């Protein structure tokens, strides 16, 4: 069985470098199947997670109870920015998640 | 890449931060792990020789030179993927990291280490990852 970052080094590095995401609006670019999203979304006030790869988007796994404050969208950053539905959105943290 | 960084700048609220996580251009190492100990097997190869990560570094540097961001902090951490076997790791990489190649040397070294005995352990892929905390300017 594959285990990815079992010691949670990535989450620890984020917390130590950027502090808590408590109450913040977060945009995650390149969210994949939600692997990292699951680690911080509980604390955040609102999360928009973008994943343009259809295969990865289909594999997303987030608790259904989070649907009120986590928006997982099959969009690239450019498509998100151009969409009038999201005009004017601003975020306290933008996370480029292995996607630069 | 620079274009994305400039786009993100417009999405940040006052006081917001950009958190950029991407691998360094150090090759990832494949290890045979048993508890806390690890034995090096081989370096993972990439079809573009990790060039995309150097380009990501250059994009961040350019965005800073152009005055969009200031580097607040850079930290490094190890990111590991653990598999029960080398075939399992290879299958995982075929799905998740299409540029990655487990070299023939890795299979040979693992066979040499294990010999005719089935030494218990797991295969670990270890990557050096950077986290850049970028403060927007302007």
**B104 close to B53: Cβ distance less than 8 angstroms:** no
Q: What mean pLDDT value characterizes chain B? A: 92
Three-state DSSP state, B113:
helix
Could you tell me the CA-to-CA distances from B13 to A71, A78, B8, B10, B56 in Å, in that order? 18, 18, 10, 8, 24
Radius of gyration of chain A (CA): 13
Whole-angstrom distance, CA of residue B122 vs CA of residue B83? 6
CB pair distance less than 8 Å for A2 and B83: yes
* Distance (Å) from the alpha carbon of A65 to chain B's nearest alpha carbon: 26
CA B79 to chain centre: 7
**Cβ atoms < 10 Å from Cβ of B51:** 12
pTM: 0.90
CB pair distance less than 8 Å for A10 and B21: yes
Chain B hits for A2, Cβ within 8 Å: 81-83, 88-89, 92
Q: What does DSSP assign to residue A48?
A: E
What confidence score (pLDDT) does residue B8 get? 95
Three-state DSSP state, B45:
strand
Q: Taking residues B55-84, what's their average pLDDT?
A: 95
Q: Quick one: pLDDT band at residue B117, thresholds 50, 70, 90?
A: low
Whether the pLDDT of residue A21 is over 80: the answer is: yes
- In this predicted complex, what is the ipTM? 0.93
| Residues in Cβ contact with B58 at an 8 Å cutoff, skipping those fewer than 6 apart | B1
* Distance (Å) from the alpha carbon of B113 to chain A's nearest alpha carbon: 22
| Residues in Cβ contact with B122 at an 8 Å cutoff, skipping those fewer than 6 apart | B32, B33, B34, B82, B83, B84
């Amino acid at each position: 069985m594959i285990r990815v970052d079992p010691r949670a080094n990535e989450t620890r590095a984020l917390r130590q470098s950027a502090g808590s995401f408590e109450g913040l609006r977060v945009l995650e670019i390149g969210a994949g199947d939600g692997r990292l999203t699951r680690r911080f979304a509980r604390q955040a006030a609102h999360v928009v997670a973008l994943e343009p790869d259809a295969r990865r988007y289909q594999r997303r796994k987030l608790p259904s109870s989070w649907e009120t404050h986590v928006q997982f969208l099959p969009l690239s950053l450019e498509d998100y920015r151009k969409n009038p539905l999201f005009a004017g959105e601003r975020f306290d943290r933008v996370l480029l998640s292995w996607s630069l | 890449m620079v274009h994305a960084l400039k786009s993100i700048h417009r999405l940040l609220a006052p006081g917001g931060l950009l958190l950029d996580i991407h691998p360094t251009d150090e090759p990832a190492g494949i290890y045979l792990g048993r508890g806390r100990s690890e034995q090096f097997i081989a370096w993972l190869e990439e079809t573009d020789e990790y060039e995309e990560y150097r380009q990501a570094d250059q994009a961040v540097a350019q965005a800073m030179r152009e005055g969009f961001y200031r580097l607040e902090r850079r930290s490094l951490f190890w990111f590991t993927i653990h598999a029960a076997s080398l075939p399992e790791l290879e299958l995982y990489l075929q799905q998740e990291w299409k540029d990655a190649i487990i070299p023939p040397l890795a299979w040979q070294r693992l066979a040499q280490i294990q010999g005719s005995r089935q030494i218990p352990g797991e295969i670990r892929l270890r990557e050096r990852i950077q986290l850049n905390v970028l403060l927007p300017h302007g």
